[in-house]
Structure 1
Amino acid sequence: MCEVYGALLNCYVEHKSLDKAEATMKKMRELGFLKISLPYNVMLSLYSRMGKNEKLGILMQEMEEKGIELNVFTYSIRLNAYAATSDIEGMEKLLMKMEADPEISIDWNAYVAAANGYLKAGLQEKTLEMLKKAEQLVTSKKIKTAYQIFLTMYAAIQKKEDVYRIWTLYRKMGKFLNSGYLCMIRSLVKLDDLDGAEKILEEWESENTLFDIRVPTALITGYCKKGLLEKAEAYINRLIQSGKEPDSKMLECLTIGYRVHGQMEKAVETMKKALLACRPGSVPNRLILAACLDYLKEKGDAQTAEEILRLLRENCHFSTSICEGLQNYIHGENPGSKAFDHLKDLIRIWIVRLRELREYWNSSLIAKFRSF
């Protein structure tokens, strides 16, 4: 019976049904089923995901009062919650408690969580201190994942030398997946080191690795942010000539670059290409889509705007009602309105309807589960 309630609790937590999850915990408490840390950790994860941080401490206090072990997962959930809200005092106290507890085997993930908390609070020196501690605890298990996180974090605090130092360590591990190159290029773009990013991309191209469009897209993003649109165009053309088609995300990056640097004609044409490259069910960047529609409305080019709306219907996950709402905007007379405002309202209504439908299906599934 305990396992049934545990499964039901997991189901509610998975679907963020807070009231039902709390009711299940209450029932388990009444039946004396709360004897181990697992259901508490499941509930703590839900509170953390929903931002109910005030309830985390209450639940952990209950665990301590009942003599239920606060394991590494319990502490990890609480630590990440403190970090997410930049509660530095709470985070530091908990970290000290973890370090002092002989039953807790603290690992590099804990210090990375603390580093994230300091980073959010703008405390770069403290961030650096935590990253150095994390490095000392990395073992062979998941070492590549750890190094990728370190690359990202050191780039975030503008520590270029550390980024290259970690990359050197990473490279000594031999052949690795595209995710390593992707992480390094993104880190160098964040550091405005486009020359370095180009060298890493060349290295990636020379390796016999499986092609991953995300890797060159990371550099294209850097080009577009810096206004190096000719470089972005040249790379995309070279990609096409080699028989590889750019995907919607790469084309959206170029569209944003055109938009930011005032080349709206090119932005509209590239937006159309991006929509054609969209996978079924994907949603385009709303800001750049709205900017293109606003431009076309101001220009009086309803034909091109209608073409974009047709592509939205055929290739992307926009409902008929959203497309019809945008169509009314294109042909409307209100000069003060903006496409993004209409898009936000239409999508908000659409999301509410999707949530209602999901709740209906969840309730049906849970009712069937209870009938067994």
Structure 2
Amino acid sequence: MLSSAAARYSSSTKFPVFATYNFLHSFSCSLTRKYYLHSHSPKPNNISDAVDTVTRLLHMWPPPSRSHINKILGSIVKMKHYPQSDGFCFLYTQENFQDGLSTSRCSFDYTIKGLCFNQNVGKALDFYDEITSKGLKLDEVSYGTLANGLCKMGKTTSALKLLKVMRRRLVKPNIVIYSTIIHALCKEGLVNDAHNLSFEMTDHGVPPNVVTYNNLIHGFCRMDQWQQANQLLNEMISKGIQLDVYTFNIIVDALCKDGRIVQAQAVFARMVKSDQRPDFVTYNALIDGHCLTNNIIEAKKVFNKMVENGLAPHIISYHILINTCFKMKMVDEAMDLFKEMHSRNLVPISLAEDYQLNVRTYTAMIHGLCKEGFLDEAVALLDRMEENNCLPDSITFNIIIRYLLENNENDKEVKVLSRIIDRGVLKK
């Protein structure tokens, strides 16, 4: 159980000793080692083939090369599977091989990575207990995977305890492990704790890099602690650490959200001067900043500049502008932007994200039309939404039903309600 497995780091750390198993059977393989290795690819087509291959290889004597087995284990991890199969007995039989520990660490890394990837962090910790109780040692890669898994499950305190375990076992945490935990602490709003950890890592001979600083700056900006964020920026510059696109995007976005658009534009200018090419995240932050102050003219200028610089506007750009146009009762402009959005060949980030943004954009359009009294146009847009394979959600339907009721459009209301029932949004 994850809670019990992760809880071991909340107090004194004690690792139980498990019985040693010997899974490698002492019998001859009916196939010659040479024939089997040549007839089985290290990149199996499916999970069953992979498990079968590992199991047969384990029954060979002398044993096959670990690199061959590791390639198959890597393929299993990439398939996002961790079957409880005899094929993984190899991971528990290190004592059967006499040519050194380090050659099979990759196998342990794959196993821990597979378990953590599938959110079985508790099992990964149990596996860690078992191999360390046999005197086997893990490197910083395996510890980093465990720390990442704990952080993703919200067990940041346990990840911090893991750092102490590493030091006791004379394994030096690397920059990736520290940055992972710092990111998790900042995400939880524990920015001061994250900052203290950055001092600790420096004391242990691991200087922060641009990723570490980005996490801390983002954390302080989210907490409106601008002085600390600015101090970290100056620290980066004094240490010769170059600000990257993510650094500038964090600052521009935070300033825009705080209504400090003039300062955001100054940072944008410095970004360009530093030979860091703004991306659509940068431009969207500025567009949103102008829209928050109802400056739609400047927002459109930024939008046009983005296109002129060779960046295809994302649906987010249109969503921000359309919402603002309706907010300012600029219905015609909103409709023009909506038509333009559909006429452009937008570059998607991901299908799932684009689908959700499409629903939100249509809903914003319908809401804006309803507010301005264009109910027929709103119902027509609802029809068009479904024709474009973008199904309305409960929010979309709630908006249009409310306005139809308020305007005594009973016939239209009944038709929309029937549609809601047909879609399964509302049961009869």
TM normalised by structure 1 equals: 0.69
TM normalised by structure 2 equals: 0.61
Pick the aligned partner of 1:73 from 141, 153, 159.
Answer: 141
Percentage of identical aligned residues = 12
Displacement after TM superposition at 1:263 (Å): 6.2
Q: Which residue number in structure 2 is paired with residue 10 of structure 1?
A: 74
Q: Which residue number in structure 1 is paired with residue 216 of structure 2?
A: 150
Pick the aligned partner of 2:320 from 236, 253, 257.
Answer: 253
Alignment of 1:308-323 (within 5 A): 322=389
Q: Which residue number in structure 2 is paired with residue 318 of structure 1?
A: none
Change in 2 beyond 3 A, CA 1:109/1:231: same
Separation (CA, whole Å) in 1 of partners of 2:324 and 2:248: 23
Pick the aligned partner of 1:202 from 269, 284, 288.
Answer: 269
Change in 2 beyond 3 A, CA 1:234/1:265: same
Q: Which residue number in structure 2 is paired with residue 289 of structure 1?
A: 361
| Aligned partners of 1:286 and 1:343 also within 8 Å | no
Displacement after TM superposition at 1:64 (Å): 0.4
Separation (CA, whole Å) in 2 of partners of 1:224 and 1:136: 45
Structure 2 residue 376 is the aligned partner of structure 1 residue 300? yes
Change in 2 beyond 3 A, CA 1:300/1:50: farther
| Aligned partners of 1:108 and 1:133 also within 8 Å | no
Separation (CA, whole Å) in 1 of partners of 2:90 and 2:295: 60
| Aligned partners of 1:251 and 1:274 also within 8 Å | yes
Separation (CA, whole Å) in 2 of partners of 1:192 and 1:229: 15
| Aligned partners of 1:18 and 1:46 also within 8 Å | yes
Q: Which residue number in structure 2 is paired with residue 87 of structure 1?
A: 155
Displacement after TM superposition at 1:81 (Å): 2.2
Higher helix content, 1 or 2: 1
| Aligned partners of 1:167 and 1:184 also within 8 Å | no
Count of residues in correspondence between the two structures: 325
Q: Which secondary structure does the structure 1 equivalent of 2:416 belong to? A: coil
| Aligned partners of 1:37 and 1:68 also within 8 Å | no
Displacement after TM superposition at 1:286 (Å): 4.0
Q: Which secondary structure does the structure 2 equivalent of 1:92 belong to? A: helix
| Aligned partners of 2:366 and 2:381 also within 8 Å | no
| Aligned partners of 1:85 and 1:117 also within 8 Å | no
**CA deviation profile, 1:211-254 (whole Å, cap 9, x unmatched):** 633322222233345655443234324556x5756512422333
Separation (CA, whole Å) in 1 of partners of 2:328 and 2:183: 33
Displacement after TM superposition at 1:47 (Å): 2.1
Q: Which runs of 5+ in 2 are unaligned?
A: 1-63, 401-411
Pick the aligned partner of 2:300 from 233, 256, 268.
Answer: 233
Q: Which residue number in structure 1 is paired with residue 252 of structure 2?
A: 185
User: Relative contact order, CA 8 A, sep 6+: which one is greater?
Assistant: 2
Q: Write the letter of the residue equivalent to 2:164.
A: M
Q: Which residue number in structure 2 is paired with residue 166 of structure 1?
A: 232
**CA deviation profile, 1:120-159 (whole Å, cap 9, x unmatched):** 444343233224434666868x833333333223323433
Q: Which runs of 5+ in 1 are unaligned?
A: 313-321, 345-372
**CA deviation profile, 1:163-211 (whole Å, cap 9, x unmatched):** 2223234445387654442233234345554332121112234455546
Q: Which secondary structure does the structure 2 equivalent of 1:51 belong to? A: coil
Pick the aligned partner of 1:28 from 75, 90, 105.
Answer: 90
Alignment of 1:78-117 (within 5 A): 78-101=146-169, 103-117=170-184
| Aligned partners of 1:41 and 1:74 also within 8 Å | yes
Change in 2 beyond 3 A, CA 1:193/1:52: farther
| Aligned partners of 1:221 and 1:253 also within 8 Å | yes
Separation (CA, whole Å) in 2 of partners of 1:13 and 1:205: 41
